[in-house]
Amino acid sequence: MRIGEASDHDLVTFYIKGNESAIEELLRRHKTKVYTSIYLLVKDQYLAEDIFQDAFIKVINTLRSGRYNEEGKFLPWVMRIAHNLVIDYFRKEKRSPTVTSADGTTDVLNFIQIHEESAEERMLREQTHADLRVMIHRLPDEQKEVLIMRHYADLSFKEIAELTDVSINTALGRMRYALSNLRKMMNVKELSNSRPNL
């Protein structure tokens, strides 16, 4: 069997038996998804690369020590390691991630439609983005985490459930609460903006 055709499970077995090219294939196969999920949370290329490398060092050390037992679930296991390293980083920094899309604008859940816009519309959009960022920061950590993983890391609820070590229903519930809380905050903001100044 050629290395490129082997399953993740077989590659792990080959690597444990001393085949170094097996870990290279696993790395090649999963680098984009793991790196992207880290980058979308930390928003810094160099930091994402550092955490990615730390994650794979941890993977290699675990495989070499014979402690790996996630049979058939290599990618979710690696994603969980990477996710835990990101959480550790934010705990150390005592700050939470900002949520921005690839082009640097906040467009969670397509709340904001962007079109040809006037200077006034652009100012309004930028203010809305800033407001939305503040609202996302106010969400409880577990809701913010699911929101980021779903809309920016493009993970399925099954993957999110595995990464955060909860049931799929819990992950779905957290997403529902996150959306509900964002809507409430937006409604409150709209109400306060529509009140005349006395």
Q: Is 100 contained in some domain? A: no
Last residue of a domain, one of 93, 127, 160: 93
Q: Is 102 contained in some domain? A: no
pLDDT at 113: 38
**Residue 97's closest CA among 153, 165, 157, 59?**
153
* Prediction pTM value: 0.53
Number of domains the chain is built from: 2
Do 76 and 120 have their domain in common?
no
Do 77 and 159 have their domain in common?
no
pLDDT at 121: 62
Q: Is 29 contained in some domain? A: yes
Intervals of the chain under pLDDT 70: 70-72, 94-130, 151-154, 193-198
pLDDT at 135: 80
pLDDT at 24: 92
Please say whether the beta carbons of 180 and 173 come within 8 A: no
pLDDT at 66: 85
Last residue of a domain, one of 93, 122, 141: 93
Q: Half-sphere exposure of 51 toward its Cβ, with a 13 Å CA cutoff?
A: 28
Looking at residue 183, which CATH number applies to its domain?
1.10.10.10
Domain that holds residue 87: 3-93
Give CA separation, 64 vs 29, 52, 60, in Å: 20, 18, 6
Q: Is 89 contained in some domain? A: yes
Last residue of a domain, one of 39, 60, 93: 93
CA–CA dist 7, 71 (Å, integer): 11
pLDDT at 61: 92
Do 48 and 80 have their domain in common?
yes
pLDDT at 196: 58
Do 122 and 190 have their domain in common?
yes
pLDDT at 112: 36
